Amino acid sequence: MNDCGRCAVRESAICHSLNESELDALNALGRHQTLKRGQTMVWQGDESLLVGNVIEGVLKLSVSGADGREQTLGIMFPSDFIGRPFGPKTDHSVVALTDAQVCTFRRSAFDEFARGHPELEHSLLQRTLTELDRTRQWMLLLGRKAATARVATFLLEMSSRYATNCNDGASTAPISFDLPLSRQDIADLLGLTIETVSRQITHLREDGIIETPNRRTIVVLDSGRLQARASEV
């Protein structure tokens, strides 16, 4: 059982529009699921049985092609919604990149609950449209931008979604975060080779835009310059 009133992502998850009695009803349908790093929550092609909100940790969406190669499609952060409501199958796998907590619901029970709560359906639609916009922007990124812009865009996305001390972008204070993906995962996500990703990170560090205290940690020293690099075609 969950405690929605003490949920860490209460104000940013899709259920933020529900009142207390509605939250209690939703709470009765859900449970917390703990995932270890590398554990698969949902397998590509399986029946869509679960949906849920990410409470803690970072997960990735991925697909496997006919040749067996895996392609990373996206990354899920706290408050993001996982799963395929109102659909029988899932077309991607969901894998924990870090230890994670997910508030899960049986899809059939969630679908029935959502049909009776238009505010929740509206929040779900808004979140879906936001994800669609993000996907379109990513298609533009992969289709038209050079390697430097791809890596810079990725680091900006990480800093805005994952940094513990992330701000609104107006401050010049450095932004520090740990990458939840390996260099190979990043390369797959950006459509680059691992050597190209490492080389571009090195260039950004040498230009004084970022620092890399270790292989996982990124410190954005100049968000404005990083944004300029991300805007290059």
Domain closes at, from 105, 139, 173: 139
Instruction: Find the radius of gyration of the CA atoms of the chain.
Output: 19
Q: How far apart are CA 123 and CA 132, in angstroms?
A: 14
Interval 26-74: pLDDT, tens: 888 989 999 999 999 989 988 888 899 999 998 988 888 888 877 778 8
Same domain as 130, residue 30? yes
Element (H, E) at 177: strand 175-178
For residue 188, the domain's CATH number is: 1.10.10.10
Interval 211-232: pLDDT, tens: 999 988 999 999 999 999 998 8
- Residues 26-52 as b/e (b if ≥16 CB within 10 A, e otherwise) read bbeebeeeebeeeeebbebeeebebbb
Contact call for residues 151 and 159 (beta carbons, < 8 A): no
Same domain as 183, residue 151? yes
Residue 92, C-beta contacts closer than 8 angstroms, at least 6 positions apart: 42, 44, 61, 62, 63, 73
Same domain as 202, residue 169? yes
The residue range of the domain holding 181 is 146-230
pLDDT at 150: 92
Contact call for residues 47 and 107 (beta carbons, < 8 A): no
Residue type present at position 166: C
Same domain as 114, residue 71? yes
Q: How far apart are CA 2 and CA 29, in angstroms?
A: 9
pLDDT at 164: 47
Contact call for residues 8 and 55 (beta carbons, < 8 A): yes
Give the number of other CB atoms < 10 A from CB of residue 17: 16
Residue 6 pLDDT > 90:
no
Same domain as 133, residue 152? no
- Report the chain's mean pLDDT, rounded to a whole number: 86
pLDDT at 169: 44
Taking alpha carbons only, the member of 124, 42, 46, 121 closest to residue 80 is: 124
Cβ-in-10-Å burial (0-12, 13-18, 19+) of 195 comes to exposed
pLDDT at 5: 67
For residue 135, the domain's CATH number is: 2.60.120.10
Same domain as 171, residue 133? no
Residue 190 pLDDT > 90:
no
Domain closes at, from 139, 170, 188: 139
